[in-house]
Structure 1
Amino acid sequence: MTYIGENTGALAANLRTLCDQHGSVAAVCRKINVNRQQFNKYLSGVHVPSAANIRIIANYFGLSVPILFSDPEEFRTLVDGNFFHAMTTARQLPEFSRFISNMIVENNSQDNEIAGIYDRYQFSSIYKGFVLKSAFCIYRNREFLQHYYVERFPSFDTPRKTEYIFKYYGFCFPLADRLFTADFEGIQCNELTFGVYAQVKRNAKRFMFGISSGIAANVFRQPYSTKVALHYRGPGLLRREHLKALTVMDRNDPAIPREALQYLGDGLDMIQM
């Protein structure tokens, strides 16, 4: 334990503040299974908790160990501002528990509704003003839903020639009628992308609309955030015929589904850093 000397007084003051916020000292001692007499020595600044006990105390209050030893005035500002209380409350919500469960526990409830092949539409961050059509696939791999998608960009000088290809691989997490995705680019291996989507259940053509944000590990590809439309094409995995149609399209191209174009708008709200 390296938090000694003048930090002992800070810890004592911060523990008193926390006990005031969480009820009686006796109740706190029962919860963390620490002797009341020993805990009183912590409150008075006579003793500093052992490394094991300080971790127990920090975990109980949902804080990191360094924060427990921070300046008492700054600490009280955080506590009085309910920043810690807000996270404690969030952890106790059933919605939070369900979210965590869906992240790590097998979930078959929505597989039949969302697994399969999609056309993916978004405004391109490379070809400004054009709509990028890529191929997106959701599938089950053991206990997880996973996805991958492929982007192909034509050459500026020779449109029939493919200039760039990007392939993304990741995980899908269905939760509360939404689909959360996290993936990485597998060719250059320098970009992480995150998305959240919702199904349009009033439309029999099966669309999902959402937002995708990505950031590369270098300055050659700018961070971006943009609307994305997913149009369901059928079950299975991507095949060669799905990849042949991948390109960038003029936003007036009639091949773009009307519903997708209405959702995407004119692309002016695409955020780039």
Structure 2
Amino acid sequence: MTQPTDPSDRTAAFAANLRLLCERRGSISQICRKVGINRQQFNKYLSGRHMPSSGNIRIIANYFGLSPEVLFAEHDHFRALVDGNFFDVLDHLRRAPQVVRFLDTVAVSGKTDIGDYVGCYDRYQYSSIYSRKILRSAFCIFQNGDFLNHYYIERFPSYDDPSRTEYIFKYHGFTFPVDDRVFSIDFETVQRNEFTFGIYSSVQRNSKRFMFGIVSGVAATMFRQPFSTRAVLHYRRPGLLSRAELQATTTLDMNDPSIPREAREYLGESPDMIKPA
């Protein structure tokens, strides 16, 4: 997901994203009352005739539970996040008393700059579905208020026709840097039946940035066994995921040359997938 750089394109993206959020949140009059912005002025934001001040952008972002940068994402990808019920689900989770206590504890315990982790990554791991294949997914960490959220997309080609996509899975969740480790917890938002947990350690190799770790997942169906495996996050650039990165998600042969050498070495020569007997 990318953010436009041209001022007119940024204004248009902001307006389209704001209209989409308003469609799902209720009447515009009610939104204006809650954010304290004049309805006539708010209509100019919705139509793209005027860009809000930085202060009003923060007010609008806080109302919808987002960071200001997310509001400027390309509209097609922004819609994909909203249509996946990502924002609403995370908003409800963040307000749950148990989650609030947990997040407060993490915020106090963390000693790292969360800005060091935001951006786009290629994620590599052995597939729990396609035997002896390495799954490359598109992974993004972004700041949402005082916390980090992430989302990633997995795509699996058809066995019979590799040019056709057989499965698409979308995960959304929280990222917690604590001391020298990064913890993640997320849920799958297409079938809505799987939780995944991860723990990573950040490593700098020459000019490349990696996070090496372990991920575990469990689904509410006997057709998909719980699993645990090694995983690698390879940092690519700042910002949100682009269409090109989403299209590059697939399963790869173990020795595919596009896989970074560091990732292949960490994953090993044979799948180390741990599953129940």
Q: TM-score range by the shorter chain?
A: 0.5 to 0.7
- Alignment TM-score, normalising by the size of structure 1: 0.61
CA deviation after TM superposition for structure 1 residue 147, in Å: 0.3
Q: 2:222 aligns with which of 206, 219, 223?
A: 219
Residue in structure 2 matched with residue 252 of structure 1 by the alignment: 255
Residue in structure 2 matched with residue 137 of structure 1 by the alignment: 140
Q: CA RMSD in A?
A: 1.8
Q: Distance in 1 between matches of 2:234 and 2:226?
A: 25
- Alignment TM-score, normalising by the size of structure 2: 0.60
Q: 1:184 aligns with which of 165, 184, 187?
A: 187
Residue in structure 1 matched with residue 158 of structure 2 by the alignment: 155
Structure number with higher relative contact order (C-alpha < 8 Å, ≥ 6 residues apart)? 2
- Structure 2: which amino acid aligns with 1:186? T
SS in 2 for 1:188: coil
Q: Distance in 1 between matches of 2:180 and 2:109?
A: 16
Q: Distance in 2 between matches of 1:178 and 1:107?
A: 10
Larger gyration radius, structure 1 or structure 2: 1
CA contact (8 A) 2:111 2:179 kept: no
Q: Please show how residues 58-207 of structure 1 align to structure 2 within 5 Å.
A: 101-104=104-107, 109-207=112-210
CA contact (8 A) 1:102 1:175 kept: no
- Structure 1: which amino acid aligns with 2:247? K
CA contact (8 A) 1:155 1:161 kept: yes
SS in 1 for 2:244: helix
- Structure 1: which amino acid aligns with 2:175? C
CA deviation after TM superposition for structure 1 residue 108, in Å: 8.6
Aligned residues: 175
- Structure 2: which amino acid aligns with 1:213? S
Residue in structure 1 matched with residue 241 of structure 2 by the alignment: 238
CA contact (8 A) 2:126 2:133 kept: yes
CA contact (8 A) 1:190 1:217 kept: yes
Gaps of 5+ in 2: 1-101
Q: Kindly, what percent of the aligned residue pairs are identical? A: 58
Gaps of 5+ in 1: 1-98
**Quick one: structure 1 residues 209 and 160, their matched pair in 2 at CA, closer, same or farther if it must change by over 3 Å?**
same
